[in-house]
Amino acid sequence: MAPLRKHDMRLRSARQEEIKEVWEDHWYGLVVCLSTVYTPSDVEGIALVDDQDDVVGLVTYQVDGPAGQIVTLDTLIRGRGFGRRLLEAVESKFHNLGLGRAWALMTNDNLRAAGLYLSRGYRLTRIHLDAIERVREHKPHLPDKGYEGIPIRDLWEFEKLGPLGVPVP
C-alpha cells in the first residue's frame, strides 16, 4: 500500500455509522462529559478520508448557544498532521456558524492532545479534579493508567475564544 500523504486526504461530513464505528473502537461507544453523556446521535462530525473514501480521522462536535464543544478528535494514523487538519476544520465550521468559543475536554494523561490544542491557541482554563470517577461509572473498563503510565484522574478543559478558523501566528 502506498504511504498516506496529506494531499491525498479530503474532508467531508461524517456519516452517523462512521461516528458510531469510531466511537465503538475508541470511546467504548459513548463520551462522558461534565454533566452530559453523549451517544453518536447527539453529535455531528467531520471526517478526513483517503482516496478510497475510508475514514482516517474524525472530529465530532456539539453546538450549544455561542459555544462549540469538540467532543472527540481521533486520527487513525498519528503524527502526520491529520489531527491539526481536523482541528482547523472544526474551528472553521464553528466560525461559519458564528460561534465565538471552542472548547474541549481531555483526560490528564493526554499530553499529545494537549500539545496539539495548545499549539492551536487554546488555553487550559479549568481542571476538573477527579472527574474521571463519574466517567468510570459509565465506562468500568477504563484502565487506571493511560498514556505513558499516567494515572487517569482528572479532566482538563481547553478553550479558545474567537476569532476561530484563522491561522495561529
Contact call for residue 145 and ligand COA (CB under 6 A): no
Shortest separation between residue 115's beta carbon and ligand COA, angstroms = 2
Q: Pick between residue 25 and residue 137 the one whose CB is nearest to ligand COA.
A: 25
Q: Are 106 and 155 in contact (CB under 8 A)?
A: yes
Indicate the SS3 state at residue 5.
coil
Contact call for residue 151 and ligand COA (CB under 6 A): no
Q: Are 10 and 46 in contact (CB under 8 A)?
A: no
Contact call for residue 113 and ligand COA (CB under 6 A): yes
Residue span binding ligand COA (CB under 6 A) among the ranges 8-16, 33-41, 93-101, 107-115: 107-115
Beta strands in the chain (DSSP E): 10-13, 31-32, 37-38, 44-49, 55-64, 67-75, 101-107, 123-128, 155-161
Q: DSSP code of 54?
A: -
What are the grid coordinates assigned to 134, written together?
463519574
Among 110, 131, 154, 156, binds ligand COA (CB under 6 A): 110
User: How many residues in the shown chain lie near ligand COA by CB under 6 A?
Assistant: 19
Within residues 70-99, the interface with ligand COA by CB under 6 A covers 72-75, 78-84
User: Residue 159, Cβ neighbours under 10 Å: how many?
Assistant: 15
Judged by the rule CB under 6 A, the positions of this chain that interact with ligand COA are: 72-75, 78-84, 106, 110-113, 115-116, 119
